[in-house]
Amino acid sequence: MSTIAFPIGNGPGRYPETPPVPQTKGVAVAKTEAIQRPEAGTELFEGDKVFEDIQAKEGESAYTFMHTVPYEGSVGLVNLLTTTRVLRKGFKTSLILYGPGVLMASASRGFPKVGDEAFPGHMAINNQIKTLLSEGGKVYACRFAAGALYGMPENFLLEGVKPFHPLDVLDSALTAWREKAFQLNTWTL
pLDDT digits (tens, 9 = 90+) for 83-92: 999 999 999 9
Reported residue count of the chain is 189
Cα separations (Å) of 60 from 52, 53, 180?
17, 15, 8
CA 111 to chain CA mean position, Å:
21
Provide mean pLDDT across the span 57-73.
Answer: 93
More confident residue, 56 or 24: 56
75-88 and 124-134 are packed helices; what angle lies between their axes, rounded to 10 degrees?
A: 20
pLDDT of residue 14: 54
pLDDT digits (tens, 9 = 90+) for 99-113: 999 999 999 999 999
Residue 82's CB is within 10 A of a number of other CB atoms, namely 14
Residue 72 has pLDDT above 90, yes or no: no
pTM of full prediction above 0.75: yes
Smallest CA-to-CA distance from 104 within 74, 61, 134 is with 74
Q: Which residues contact 161 (CB under 8 A, 6 or more apart)?
A: 97, 105, 129, 133, 139, 140, 141
The letter for the amino acid at 2 is S
Distance separating alpha carbons of residues 142 and 182, to the nearest angstrom: 21
